[in-house]
Amino acid sequence: MSRAYLCTFRTAMSIPDAQIHPVATGRAAETVTQHQEPQAVTYYAGWFCPFANRSWIALEEKGIPYQYKEINPYTKDKHFLEINPKGLVPAIEYKGRALYESLVLCEFLEDAYPNHTPHLLPTDPFERGYARLWIDFVCKSAVPSIQRLVQAQEPDKQRAALEDTLKALRTFTENIKGPWFLGEQFSLVDIVLAPWIIRDYIMENHRGYSREAVGASWKEYAERLEKRESVLKTQSDEEHYVQIYQRYLRDEAQSELAKAIRAGRPIP
């Protein structure tokens, strides 16, 4: 294969991810409009990104003033690479310095705004550690299984990924104290999984998943979560998410996430 052809081929493969719908829609668009004034926190996000959705929910939960800036991370603009050398959303600039990685951002917001409630982590060190154990479980087990399920093509791979997903979500459910994971306190444990729960219609419509198959308590928890104001305020219209997921469902997405899942590597 000639070098010129390879370049053309690579460009063609990368176009769809770069041509996503450019801005948030629905309730999320209203929230974006309300957050255009410069603030100590500049929030760089992609409306479609489940990872960005995590820290966006945290910002909304805590009522932290922020300026929202929509970024298409697939175009790898020079200015954005200076903020996050990995070229991934979400990222923030805080008083002239930059941070990235959704979990780091969630914890940073909790630490940097101690007077903003609700607190998204328990204050007791043991309970805080316990919360982090489950955040780790979500990141290493639940989310990778879901992503594998969405991208799996062959029936046996889809069956195995569905089994892993149901198993991970059942384990999570068995430990929900209710109404939220840690009990009365809505926390980062709920937030880190939320973006995948509210989009589970993708797995339901295409991969044989159902909330009932996980269990009745899971269904109740998921329904409670999708009605939470911070979650509603950060959601775009379903049709635009569906469009994005088409490439994942065909396993054609060229995002770093899709490539990692395809290669059996951890989420970047």
Ligand X SMILES: N[C@@H](CCC(=O)N[C@@H](CS)C(=O)NCC(=O)O)C(=O)O
Residue 50 beta carbon to ligand X: minimum distance, rounded to whole angstroms: 6
Nearer to ligand X by Cβ, of 89 and 150: the residue is 89
Nearer to ligand X by Cβ, of 108 and 219: the residue is 108
Residue 220 beta carbon to ligand X: minimum distance, rounded to whole angstroms: 27
Nearer to ligand X by Cβ, of 56 and 218: the residue is 56
Nearer to ligand X by Cβ, of 102 and 185: the residue is 102
Q: Which residues bind ligand X (CB under 6 A)?
A: 46, 49-51, 73-74, 87-90, 101-102, 255-257, 267-268
Nearer to ligand X by Cβ, of 90 and 144: the residue is 90
Nearer to ligand X by Cβ, of 140 and 177: the residue is 140
Residue 89 beta carbon to ligand X: minimum distance, rounded to whole angstroms: 4
Residue 44 beta carbon to ligand X: minimum distance, rounded to whole angstroms: 10
Buried b / exposed e along 125-164 (16+ C-beta atoms within 10 A): eeeeeebeebbebbbebbbbbbbbbbbbeeeeebeebbeb
Residue 118 beta carbon to ligand X: minimum distance, rounded to whole angstroms: 22
Nearer to ligand X by Cβ, of 26 and 87: the residue is 87
Residue 198 beta carbon to ligand X: minimum distance, rounded to whole angstroms: 15
Residue 47 beta carbon to ligand X: minimum distance, rounded to whole angstroms: 10
Cis before 65? omega within 30: no
- The answer to whether 79 and 52 are in contact (CB under 8 A) is no
